[in-house]
A and B are shown apart, each in its own frame.
Chain A
Amino acid sequence: MIKQSLNLIVLMSLIALIGCTNKDAESDCSQLVVENSWIREAPPGSTVLAGYLLIKNTSNNSLKITSASSQAFGRIEFHQTTQGSNGMKMQLLPELEIAANSTLHLQPGGKHMMLFEPAAEYKNGEKLNIDLRCGSINSIKTEFPVKKTMENSGTTHHHHQH
Chain B
Amino acid sequence: MRNPVLIFATVLAAGSLALGLWSWQQWTQTVAKVPAKELSATVLPSPRPLPEIILSNHNGEAVDLGIASSRWGLWFLGFTHCPDVCPNTLGMLAAVRKGLNAIDGAKKIDMVFVSVDPARDSTEKLKSYVQYFDSEMIGLTGSQQDIDTLTQSLYLPYQLDEPDENGHYNVEHSGALVLVNPDNAVHAYFTPPHSAQTLITELKQLTTP
Contact = CB atoms under 8 A, between A and B. Distances in A.
Size bracket of the B interface: 35 or more
A48 B168 contact: yes
B87 A40 contact: yes
A87 B158 contact: yes
Nearest to B122: A45
Contact of B83 (A50, A86, A117, A149): A50
> Which of A88, A108, A116, A149 has the most B CB atoms < 10 Å from its CB?
A88
A1 B168 CA distance: 66
A85 B159 CA distance: 10
A80 to B, nearest CB: 9
A150 B166 CA distance: 30
B83 A153 contact: no
Interface string A64-77: 00000000000100
Contact of B81 (A46, A79, A150, A153): A46
Contacts of A87: 156-159, 172-175
Contact of B170 (A45, A49, A90, A108): A90
Contacts, number: 107
B84 A109 contact: yes
Contact of B173 (A43, A47, A88, A156): A88
A1 to B, nearest CB: 62
Given A45-B80, A81-B84, A108-B88, A88 B174 contact: yes
A108 B194 CA distance: 12
A114 interface: yes
B156 A108 contact: no
B194 A116 contact: no
Nearest to A79: B84
Nearest to B92: A154
9 contacts: A40-B87, A43-B90, A45-B128, A46-B82, A47-B168, A79-B84, A88-B192, A154-B95, A155-B193
Given A150-B95, A151-B95, A155-B193, 7 more contacts: A44-B132, A75-B166, A79-B84, A87-B158, A88-B172, A90-B170, A109-B85
